[in-house]
Structure 1
Amino acid sequence: MKPFSRLWSLAAAAAFLVQANASPPPPAASAPIVNLGYAQYQGTVVQDKVTNATHTQFLGIRYAAPPTGSSRFKAPASPATTPGVQLANANPPECLQASQGVSATNPFRVGQLQSRAADAGPSEDCLFLNVFLPGILGQRKNLPVVFWIHGGGYILGSATGFDGNDLIRESGEGVVVVVIQYRLGVFGFLPGQKVKDGGALNAGLLDQQFALKWVQEHIRDFGGNPNKVTIWGESAGAGSVLQHVVANGGHTHPPLFRAAITSSSFLPSQYKFNDRIPELLYSETVSQTNCSSAADTLSCLRSADVNALQAANTAINRNGFFGTFVFVPVVDGTFITDRPTKLLQEKKVNGKILYSVTNTFEGVAFVNQATANTVQVADYVSQLFPNISPAQAQAAAAKYAGTGTNIFQANGIMGESIFICPTYFLLRAFGGKAFKGEFAIPPGSHGQDVGYYFNNGKPPAFADPGFDAAFSESFLDFAMNLDTNVKHDPINITPQWQQWQGSNEMLFNKTDAGAAVVQPIKTSTALLDRCDFWQSVADATAQ
């Protein structure tokens, strides 16, 4: 779920004119220093790759103490005071990574996991963030803040590759951008009763929340307004946004953001922390790190060699069912008080307003296309959701019968049950205070949209300036104004966009001849009916 190809925006023209008339930066601009109290960081001044506008960036700011040693599997803590000035001119080390499941069957159906070889990841000490701002440090104040959470199934990904300068350009130089990292895989999402009793469940989500609190405390030092924060993520990053929307039963206090954006919301099975499958994951982690005979297995895991724990992390994740991710958030009873779909049904949400985009064919990348001639739809449902009953699996298959071949149906089940339908549940929870978009540029697959907003100054495959600006700028206009209709770019081609009324959205597509299509559409009633089905069985799917 790394960003793909990159895009440029029509907003560049306006930004260029602003920069062309700006005064040259003062000599000290080459070494901007910010004092955060616990440390001083020296950033760098850069020129935008498209407009040459002046931006300032701070890469690799530590926002939490190293989650290592006795702090492993615990909630994040404030960093120690560091003397002197720290250079913030390079991307931080990535958190330890794993990979998605590749197994033909779901091991949780039979309650067994099999070990596989694993590779070591980058670093356990990885709780850093990057900050990007327009102009020179101290030049502007009270700008809206975009807080980006990367995707990767909660087991991979990093801040690297997400250049906040792209979002600044697409905003017309109107936002401050924060890009964070958080613990992944077993390090961030180890479940089980032992973790509840002696550690912190959902540590990766707590890292994100800690970074949001860091923004509340420090973003004014970078010209940002802590009262104008929009959280945004793609895939598991969007899933993380969903988690923060329902966090603390929708009553996080004080509020940490005013608006939320989801690009391809990701909501896999989210079991209660001590259900059968989470406890199996804990036991398997203990077994693979030779901690089974320890009197205190969690203490043993804390003292285990990081490479041994990373080997278990990779092995367990790879043994998951094809296209699924094993170490993901759980219902912990405190931060996440209940199943997300239940909290959304009860409209228990943080934030004032929402903007959500889904891609037309979200599921294709997560279904083994080599099984096209053999996949049985009801069996696929049972593999994807191991706690679902045979009758419910058959009912799901019946909902998709007639939509296409068996593999097309499996693609639809994966994409709709885990990405698209949870997005509609999220939209409903905001009671009309929301905007909905669909990204459909062929093939309309998962992650294809990322290169339109994180573009590294380069055009994407469909390099239509009007389309590219309309799509990428919609996110930044929303973050700045809480309304996609309030446009900073006067030549943005997006027509009037009504707030969500249950079945209306904005289509971002192109014609066969290559002309941009940006127009309002009605949501498919058949799709909404299938989503109603998935909501009806959410207790069995653990969503």
Structure 2
Amino acid sequence: MKLTVAFLLVSATLTTLASGVTSNTESDAPIVDLGYASYQGSFDPSTNVTNFLGVRYAAAPLGDLRFRAPQSPANVPGVQQANTEPPECFQASSGLSPTNPFSNQTLAKRQGREQTEDCLFLNVAIPGSTIPTGEFPVIVWIHGGGYLGGDASDFHGSDLINEAKGGVVVVTIQYRLGVFGFLAGKQVKQNGALNAGLLDQHFALQWVNTHISKFGGLNSKVTIWGESAGAGSVLQQALYSEVVAQTNCASSSNPLNCLRSVDANTLEALNTNINSAGFFGLFTFVPVVDGEFITQRATEALKQGKVNGQALLAVTNTNEGLIFVNQTANQNTTFYAEQLFPNFGIQQDRETARQYAGLGSQLNQINLIQGESIFICPTYYLLNAFSGRSFKGEFAVPPATHAMDIQYYFPTGFTSSPFQNADFQKAFSQSFLAFAISLDPNSKFDRTNITPRWNKYSAGNTEMVFNSTNDGSAADIHTISTNRALLERCSFWESVGQLTGQ
């Protein structure tokens, strides 16, 4: 699921893999004074983009700052060279267990990239070799990875700048992941911050609001663009006790302070082990309703129209659920619903099976249950909340699995896309960028873009399908109306939101 939301002011967050950037440092590259530190970028003549890599936006969340809300960075004298990709936050894998809670698919760790607890950095990319004199629309990219993987370095701002013909400024951010960013528990709430990773995102957006004008960006025209970020979990309050036990902090008079003193590598080993022990394809450390930053379940807020933004562009992939389901396991829909959502009773398990009966094999039904309940249906709740202000798309190039589309708008950071077609590449990526620039994917800045007229979703539940022809020889981009049976299944998932945690 991809969410592209344009905000008048950066005042809220939505959460909504390969080689790094190599930049050519030049002595006359621009320097930006942020008040607490000055950063000198590096101009890359191959892309005609200046990158400011590894800009610190928050203090290192170490020691007593572990499990707390982000704090302002300390003042640093002199000019910092922003020409090296930042270290990524500690990573972990998705669950491998065939049952919930606690076969073999992983969110693979990338080799050779430094991982550290001190990871609250962002990258800024600007067109050209000098700070733009105009005020450019801003794109803030929030990486996916189930709240336990991903980083800023895999997503090169130069890709978006060049696809937008030099018409945007791009910010890619990092935030704490897994146990470091999403440890829940009563003691954390009392003497720390639940959802620290989300607070990092929010802090980074506040940084954009304050500082992006110094890079030539317009802080009143910011588009937040995010991908994936995983599913919900009903295991949060059990997790704190598990973390305390596995770090030998159970006997401490103050377990939370004990956790803050635990070596980060020990905590990362625990992070990996607990996540791997979770239900296959799901993510263990995720956001929770904390009563402060997140005050209610998402489905409730969306029903009430509590959204902060001018417009929404949402794109889902046809087969979102497939990679999160063990394709070799022998299970039926009733049992899968029971394992996926432990708060379900037999009535909800059976109703789930009834909703998906007749939709192919048991495995295909399970793939649909995973994809629709977690990714696709929540997208329609968002679309309805942005009624009259939203556009819906579907990425359908086979196999159209989760995250397969990323390589079409960040082509330099990934291996070659399976469908090599210039018309498709341009149409798909420029739809996002046209929206970021003008809040309307129809406002094309490239007349060779073949995307047909894209009506708002509210006009007949219209969706734009981005596909290839059956023989793979050409782009096939066309509009459809959302399948009514899908919307009925989504109504079911919305009705049980309290039990699924959505």
Q: Tell me whether the two structures share a fold, i.e. TM-score over 0.5.
A: yes
- Pick from 409, 419, 424: which aligns with 1:462? 419
Note if contact 1:74-1:200 (Cα within 8 Å) is conserved in structure 2: yes
* Separation in 2, partners of 1:72, 1:5: 29
* Separation in 2, partners of 1:155, 1:295: 29
Instruction: After TM superposition, give the deviation of residue 28 of structure 1 in Å.
Output: 7.6
Partner secondary structure for residue 107 of structure 1:
coil
Partner secondary structure for residue 174 of structure 1:
coil
Instruction: After TM superposition, give the deviation of residue 459 of structure 1 in Å.
Output: 5.5
* Separation in 1, partners of 2:133, 2:327: 51
Q: What residue is the counterpart of 1:136 in the other structure?
A: 129
- Which one-letter code corresponds to 2:64 in the other structure? S
Q: Please list the CA deviations of residues 270-300 of structure 1 after superposition, one character each: whole Å capped at 9, or x if unmatched.
A: 55xxxxx322100000000000111111111
- Which one-letter code corresponds to 1:529 in the other structure? E
Which consecutive residues of structure 2, in runs of 5 or more, have no partner in the other structure?
2-16, 103-110
Partner secondary structure for residue 447 of structure 1:
coil
Q: What residue is the counterpart of 2:355 in the other structure?
A: 399
- Pick from 485, 501, 504: which aligns with 2:442? 485
Q: Please list the CA deviations of residues 172-215 of structure 1 after superposition, one character each: whole Å capped at 9, or x if unmatched.
A: 11000000000000000000111111000100000000000000
Instruction: After TM superposition, give the deviation of residue 463 of structure 1 in Å.
Output: 1.5
* Separation in 2, partners of 1:399, 1:280: 31
- Which one-letter code corresponds to 1:101 in the other structure? G
Instruction: After TM superposition, give the deviation of residue 465 of structure 1 in Å.
Output: 1.2
Q: What residue is the counterpart of 1:322 in the other structure?
A: 280
Partner secondary structure for residue 35 of structure 2:
coil
Q: Please list the CA deviations of residues 255-277 of structure 1 after superposition, one character each: whole Å capped at 9, or x if unmatched.
A: xxxxxxxxxxx4x2355xxxxx3
- Pick from 187, 192, 214: which aligns with 2:180? 187
Partner secondary structure for residue 194 of structure 1:
helix
Note if contact 1:347-1:430 (Cα within 8 Å) is conserved in structure 2: yes
Structure 1 residues 459 and 269 mapped into 2: Cα distance closer, same or farther (>3 Å)? Answer: closer
Note if contact 1:5-1:459 (Cα within 8 Å) is conserved in structure 2: no
Partner secondary structure for residue 472 of structure 1:
helix
* Separation in 2, partners of 1:295, 1:327: 25
* Separation in 2, partners of 1:29, 1:489: 35
Q: What residue is the counterpart of 1:55 in the other structure?
A: 49
- Pick from 350, 355, 380: which aligns with 1:424? 380
Instruction: After TM superposition, give the deviation of residue 29 of structure 1 in Å.
Output: 7.2
Note if contact 1:121-1:310 (Cα within 8 Å) is conserved in structure 2: no
Q: What residue is the counterpart of 1:521 in the other structure?
A: 480
* Separation in 2, partners of 1:433, 1:78: 35
Instruction: After TM superposition, give the deviation of residue 59 of structure 1 in Å.
Output: 0.3
Partner secondary structure for residue 342 of structure 2:
coil
Partner secondary structure for residue 407 of structure 1:
helix
Q: What residue is the counterpart of 2:138 in the other structure?
A: 145
Q: Tell me if 1:39 matches 2:37.
A: yes
Partner secondary structure for residue 61 of structure 1:
strand
* Separation in 1, partners of 2:181, 2:430: 33
Instruction: After TM superposition, give the deviation of residue 310 of structure 1 in Å.
Output: 1.1
Which consecutive residues of structure 1, in runs of 5 or more, have no partner in the other structure?
7-26, 109-118, 237-265, 272-276
- Pick from 53, 57, 62: which aligns with 1:68? 62
* Separation in 1, partners of 2:117, 2:474: 47
Partner secondary structure for residue 370 of structure 1:
coil
* Separation in 1, partners of 2:461, 2:331: 32
Q: How does 1:332-371 map to 2 (within 5 A)?
A: 332-371=290-329
- Which one-letter code corresponds to 1:235 in the other structure? S
* Separation in 2, partners of 1:139, 1:281: 47
Partner secondary structure for residue 115 of structure 2:
coil
Q: Taking structure 1 as the reference length, what is the TM-score of the superposition?
A: 0.84
Instruction: After TM superposition, give the deviation of residue 121 of structure 1 in Å.
Output: 7.6
Instruction: After TM superposition, give the deviation of residue 537 of structure 1 in Å.
Output: 0.7
Note if contact 2:30-2:131 (Cα within 8 Å) is conserved in structure 1: no
* Separation in 2, partners of 1:270, 1:322: 12
Q: Please list the CA deviations of residues 498-520 of structure 1 after superposition, one character each: whole Å capped at 9, or x if unmatched.
A: 11116210010011122211111
Q: What residue is the counterpart of 2:210 in the other structure?
A: 217
Partner secondary structure for residue 171 of structure 2:
strand
List, as ranges, runs of 4+ consecutive aligned residues in structure 1 with deviation greater than 2 Å: 3-6, 27-31, 136-141, 268-271, 457-460
Instruction: After TM superposition, give the deviation of residue 462 of structure 1 in Å.
Output: 1.1
- Which one-letter code corresponds to 2:153 in the other structure? T
Structure 1 residues 33 and 4 mapped into 2: Cα distance closer, same or farther (>3 Å)? Answer: closer
Q: What residue is the counterpart of 1:81 in the other structure?
A: 75
Note if contact 1:4-1:451 (Cα within 8 Å) is conserved in structure 2: no
Partner secondary structure for residue 435 of structure 1:
strand
Partner secondary structure for residue 505 of structure 1:
strand
- Which one-letter code corresponds to 2:132 in the other structure? Q
Partner secondary structure for residue 251 of structure 2:
coil
Q: What residue is the counterpart of 2:88 in the other structure?
A: 94
Q: What residue is the counterpart of 1:304 in the other structure?
A: 262
- Pick from 160, 167, 178: which aligns with 2:171? 178
Instruction: After TM superposition, give the deviation of residue 492 of structure 1 in Å.
Output: 0.7
- Pick from 392, 398, 403: which aligns with 1:447? 403
Number of residues of Structure 1 aligned to a counterpart in Structure 2? 471
Partner secondary structure for residue 116 of structure 2:
coil
- Pick from 185, 189, 199: which aligns with 2:192? 199
Instruction: After TM superposition, give the deviation of residue 135 of structure 1 in Å.
Output: 1.2
Instruction: After TM superposition, give the deviation of residue 403 of structure 1 in Å.
Output: 0.2
* Separation in 1, partners of 2:226, 2:133: 26
Partner secondary structure for residue 226 of structure 2:
strand
- Which one-letter code corresponds to 2:198 in the other structure? L
Q: What residue is the counterpart of 1:278 in the other structure?
A: 236
Q: What residue is the counterpart of 2:10 in the other structure?
A: none
Instruction: After TM superposition, give the deviation of residue 30 of structure 1 in Å.
Output: 3.9
Structure 1 residues 319 and 420 mapped into 2: Cα distance closer, same or farther (>3 Å)? Answer: same
Structure 1 residues 28 and 327 mapped into 2: Cα distance closer, same or farther (>3 Å)? Answer: closer
Q: Taking structure 2 as the reference length, what is the TM-score of the superposition?
A: 0.91
Note if contact 1:477-1:483 (Cα within 8 Å) is conserved in structure 2: yes
Q: Give the superposed CA RMSD.
A: 1.9
Instruction: After TM superposition, give the deviation of residue 77 of structure 1 in Å.
Output: 0.4
- Which one-letter code corresponds to 1:190 in the other structure? L
Partner secondary structure for residue 286 of structure 2:
coil
Q: What residue is the counterpart of 2:232 in the other structure?
A: 269
* Separation in 1, partners of 2:98, 2:477: 39
Instruction: After TM superposition, give the deviation of residue 139 of structure 1 in Å.
Output: 3.2
- Which one-letter code corresponds to 1:199 in the other structure? G
- Which one-letter code corresponds to 1:35 in the other structure? D
* Separation in 2, partners of 1:269, 1:358: 18
Partner secondary structure for residue 223 of structure 2:
strand
- Which one-letter code corresponds to 2:160 in the other structure? L
**Percent identity at matched positions?**
56
- Which one-letter code corresponds to 1:397 in the other structure? A
Note if contact 2:32-2:38 (Cα within 8 Å) is conserved in structure 1: yes
* Separation in 1, partners of 2:296, 2:114: 32
